[in-house]
Chain A
Amino acid sequence: NAGVTQTPKFQVLKTGQSMTLQCAQDMNHNSMYWYRQDPGMGLRLIYYSASEGTTDKGEVPNGYNVSRLNKREFSLRLESAAPSQTSVYFCASSEQGSNQPQHFGDGTRLSIL
C-alpha cells in the first residue's frame, strides 16, 4: 500500500527553467493538496483540489500552477523557477470535507540556482 507517492525526490533547476512535480495517491481520496516547507516556517498551502475537476488557491500560490489530472493524480508546475522557490514540496490527500486527517508523501527537495 503506497499511500501518497511523489516524484522526483530531488531536483536541481536553474533560474527560469520549468518543471512539474508529480503526485499520486492510491487511497481513493477526493481531496489533494500541495504544500511547501521552508526552514522555521512550517508548511504553507500552495494549492488544493477539494475534488476531481476543481482546484483552488492556498496561502502562497504565486509562481505555481496545478492540474488535477484524475482522481489519483495532482501535479504542481513551476513555469519559470526562481531561487525563492527553493523548498521541500509535499503532496497530501484526504477524504473530502472537514475533520479528515491528511496523508502525506515524503516530499520533493527542490533547489533552484
Chain B
Amino acid sequence: SQQGEEDPQALSIQEGENATMNCSYKTSINNLQWYRQNSGRGLVHLILIRSNEREKHSGRLRVTLDTSKKSSSLLITASRAADTASYFCATDRRGGTSYGKLTFGQGTILTVHP
C-alpha cells in the first residue's frame, strides 16, 4: 500500500511563479524525503527532513513537515522551465527493521511554461 499520497496529481504554472506540492502519510516516520524525476530518468534526491524538524530550505526549495497532521509540503519558488518534472515524497517509517526502506507517493507532475 502507498504510504504517501500527493496532491495535486498535476500542476501547471508559468515561469517565475511558485509551485506548492503536498504529501500526506499514515504512520510514524523517521524522515520524509522529496525526489525529482525528469522524463525517462531516475529519481534525484532533493531534500530530507527528519521527524524532529519542522522546516528546511535548500536553494529555491522549502519543505515543511507537520507530524501532528502527518503531512509535508514542498515549495519551489521562482520556478523555471527546467523544474518541469515529476516530484515524489517518500517516507522512512519508524520502528522495526524498516530503516532505509522508503515508501513513495504517487507523485505530482509539474509543468512550468516559459
A residues whose Cβ falls under 8 Å from a Cβ of B: 4, 31, 33, 35, 40-45, 48, 50, 56, 58-59, 90, 92, 94, 96-107
Contacts and interface: CB of A to CB of B under 8 A. Distances in A.
B41 A106 contact: yes
B100 interface: yes
Contacts of B88: 42-43
Contacts of B97: 56
Contacts of A4: 42
B42 A97 contact: no
Interface in B94-114: 97, 99-107
Given A99-B50, A102-B45, A58 B101 contact: yes
Contacts of A98: 30-31, 92, 99-100
B100 A31 contact: yes
Contacts of B4: 42
Interface string B20-49: 000000000011010100001111110010
B2 interface: yes
Contacts of B106: 40-42
Contact of B43 (A48, A90, A99): A90
A113 to B, nearest CB: 21
Given A43-B43, A90-B43, A101 B100 contact: no
B104 to A, nearest CB: 4
B81 to A, nearest CB: 22
Contact of B100 (A42, A50, A107): A50
Given A42-B88, A99-B48, A99-B50, A107 B42 contact: yes
A90 B42 contact: yes
B69 to A, nearest CB: 21
Name the residue in B43, B48, B92 with the highest tally of chain A Cβ atoms < 10 Å from its Cβ: B43
